[in-house]
Amino acid sequence: MKHLKTEEQSSTYYPHQPQMQMERRHAPRIPVSFGLMYSGIRKNDVLMADGVVLDLSEGGLGIRGNQPVKVGMELSMFLYLPDGSDPLFVLETNVAWSAGSLFGVEFKKMSLREGNRLHSFLRAQSVLLA
């Protein structure tokens, strides 16, 4: 496992994280900022909320949301990529960590078409950052 960068380098998005944490991602994250809508089941209620994607990788994303979630929750999401197309639909994600309004999810299930679209978007963002 790789270590995250120091707090000074990562505190822009995740000021709550300790100075050094174990990095569990297998793919590099790319800083982004676009909207999303997420939904799931919280206790016996349906959760419908929105937020902002803070970073994105092929394995998942970091979010600032307007409704709290718990680690282990399954969520479905619509990502409003800034490409002007219809939202990208992710059928199933799993909440990997949560701290107040910030949380991270791991992608579990999406269609091949949506997976290809996500991959193309990430590739384009990587070129812009290079």
Predicted confidence (pLDDT) per residue in 41-68, tens digit: 988 889 999 999 999 999 999 999 999 9
pLDDT bracket for residue 129 (50, 70, 90): confident
- What CATH architecture is 26-129? Beta Barrel (2.40)
Q: What is the average per-residue pLDDT within 13-17?
A: 47
Residue 93 and residue 78 in contact, taking contact as beta carbons nearer than 8 Å:
no
Q: Per residue in 80-89, pLDDT tens? A: 999 888 999 9
Q: Per residue in 87-126, pLDDT tens? A: 999 999 999 999 999 999 999 999 999 999 999 999 998 8
Cα angle 24, 11, 78 (rounded to 5 degrees) comes to: 60
Torsion of CA 125, 129, 9, 97, to 10 degrees: 10
pLDDT bracket for residue 32 (50, 70, 90): very high
- Closest by alpha carbon to 108, among 122, 90, 123? 90
Q: What is the average per-residue pLDDT within 16-38?
A: 70
Interatomic CA distance for residues 90 and 16, integer angstroms: 27
Size of the chain, expressed as the number of residues it contains: 130
- Closest by alpha carbon to 122, among 72, 58, 67, 51? 58
Q: What is the average per-residue pLDDT within 18-35?
A: 68
DSSP, collapsed to helix, strand or coil, labels residue 10 as helix
